[in-house]
Amino acid sequence: MLAYDGLCTFEFSIALEVFGLPRPEFDFPWYSHRIVAVDPSPMRASGGMQVVADFGLDALIDAHTIIVPGWRSRNERPPQGLLDALCAAHQRGARLLSICSGVFVLAATGLLDGKRATTHWRYTDELAARYPGIDVDPDVLYVDNGQLITSAGSAAGIDACLHLVSRDFGMHVANTVARRLVMAPQRAGGQMQFIPAPVARKPRDDLAAVLEWAIRHLDSQLSVKQLAAKALMSERTFLRRFSEATGMAPKAWLLQVRMNLARDLLESSQLSHEEIAGCCGFASAESFRAAFRKTVGLAPMSYRGQFGRH
């Protein structure tokens, strides 16, 4: 985890909370972590604190994952030593994860050129203008490019970090960490819902009951017409309200929650693929396998072999 003069303490604390705390609830080794100083100590941090780190940039030489928790100024080019260290780490296979404005550090390395990335919605236009080689997505909470993971506004860093935990240890473990954080295991939608609009939006409460009902009935073939009727709206109004509330179309949202359920069942149960397909509302095991592989990046059998309880 990088620390620097002008440290963004909330973003830094997110990384420390997820990766740095001991996890006695697990019977396997958790992440080992180091706080690495970009600048000479003591470093100032937001809120009037000072930070002293035990390690310098040379400690990144054997890091498997490097967290960039924000950056002190979007207009300041990061030190060349930091950029060189990040490029060297990426070249040898390390993962780089940025939270909020930390994407400007990754952008300055050139590693994001030709790739999709995100940051806080207030900065997406600036990022796209300054780095036209990056495909900036303003609507999502995070983007996973394998070795390069970028997240939106500060709290979206929690989503990105939990996503990385799920990649390493599976959805069940990520959900356990989320419960300790007292937050939803994986938020649906994107940051579109947080962008101020010229006209006040309707509260999301008018859809909450419908979303909860849909989650309880994932084993059914749910249609927009059916969901709109539950919400007592026309299909056109429902689609608009749904997009405003979640940042997603109903079909995409349903696929996400179906995949979350499928991952949980593959990890925690011995149900067959046919049975899981039925629980998740797929017409056949074949269509379930195809959707799972496309969405998660692994075949269900491989996912269960890697993350299932043995």
- The per-residue pLDDT for range 233-246, each reduced to its tens digit, is 999 999 998 887 77
**Which is higher by pLDDT, 277 or 184?**
277
The pLDDT value recorded for residue 281 is 95
Q: How many domains are there within the chain?
A: 2
255: Cβ–Cβ under 8 A, 6 or more apart, which residues?
291, 295
* CA 270 – CA 285 distance, rounded (Å): 15
Q: Minimal CA–CA distance to 163: which of 117, 106, 97? A: 97
Domain that holds residue 263: 200-310
Predicted confidence band of residue 308 (pLDDT cuts 50, 70, 90): confident
Residue pLDDT, tens place only, 262-307: 988 998 899 999 999 999 999 999 999 999 998 888 899 998 988 8
* CA 75 – CA 118 distance, rounded (Å): 17
The pLDDT value recorded for residue 197 is 38
* CA 261 – CA 267 distance, rounded (Å): 10
Same domain, yes or no, for 293 and 263? yes
The pLDDT value recorded for residue 195 is 45
Beta bridge partners of 290: none
Pair of tokens at residue 157? 């860093």
Q: Are strands 116-117 and 135-136 parallel, antiparallel or unpaired?
A: parallel
Residue pLDDT, tens place only, 58-112: 999 999 999 999 999 999 999 999 999 999 999 999 999 999 999 999 999 999 9
Same domain, yes or no, for 206 and 174? no
Of 153, 181, 209, the position where a domain reaches its end is 181
Of 136, 153, 181, the position where a domain reaches its end is 181
The pLDDT value recorded for residue 248 is 82
Identify whether 190 is part of a domain.
no
Identify whether 155 is part of a domain.
yes
* CA 163 – CA 143 distance, rounded (Å): 10
